[in-house]
């Protein structure tokens, strides 16, 4: 784990490496520890990057990569990063697919929402799908 800041003044705790289950467990531990220390009002979100595995088809489906973390931002078949954002206060997720300098691929985000279906609680209010520019993960 390491700490970094961004150009907006936010602090990030980067949890890297390991399998998806390990990563989710460690992120949950960080959230719980921060909440126990009285920081729950300051928690905004967690961001997970995913990459199609070697069996991915042209539509981007296939196995997932190492579960995210710095250096493993996901890519769709076009090579753009794909992230899932967990809103701590809402208990919901939304996809984020940046497509350029402060631009996003909303069509891809909506396709990802459809793929997630009922597997994860997806944020239904699209106005809460905030772009997160300059993520400290690649």
- Report yes or no: 65 and 42 within 8 Å, Cβ to Cβ: no
What is the structure's pLDDT at 117?
A: 82
Measure CA of the first residue to CA of the last residue in the chain; give whole Å.
16
Q: How confident is the model at residue 54 (pLDDT cuts 50, 70, 90)?
A: low
Q: How far is CA 40 from CA 43, 86, 136, in A?
A: 5, 14, 21
Residue 131 has pLDDT above 90, yes or no: yes
């Amino acid at each position: 784990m390491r700490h970094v800041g961004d150009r907006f003044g936010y602090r990030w705790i980067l949890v890297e490496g390991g399998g998806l289950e390990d990563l989710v467990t460690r992120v949950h531990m960080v959230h719980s520890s921060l909440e126990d220390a009285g920081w729950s009002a300051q928690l905004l979100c967690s961001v997970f990057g995913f990459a199609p595995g070697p069996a991915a088809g042209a539509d981007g489906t296939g196995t997932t990569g190492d579960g995210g973390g710095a250096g493993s931002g996901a890519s769709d078949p076009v090579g753009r990063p794909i992230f899932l954002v967990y809103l701590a206060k809402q208990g919901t997720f939304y996809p984020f697919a940046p497509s350029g300098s402060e631009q996003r691929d909303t069509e891809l985000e909506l396709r990802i929402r459809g793929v997630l279906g009922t597997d994860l609680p997806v944020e239904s209010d699209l106005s809460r799908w905030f772009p997160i520019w300059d993520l400290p993960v690649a």
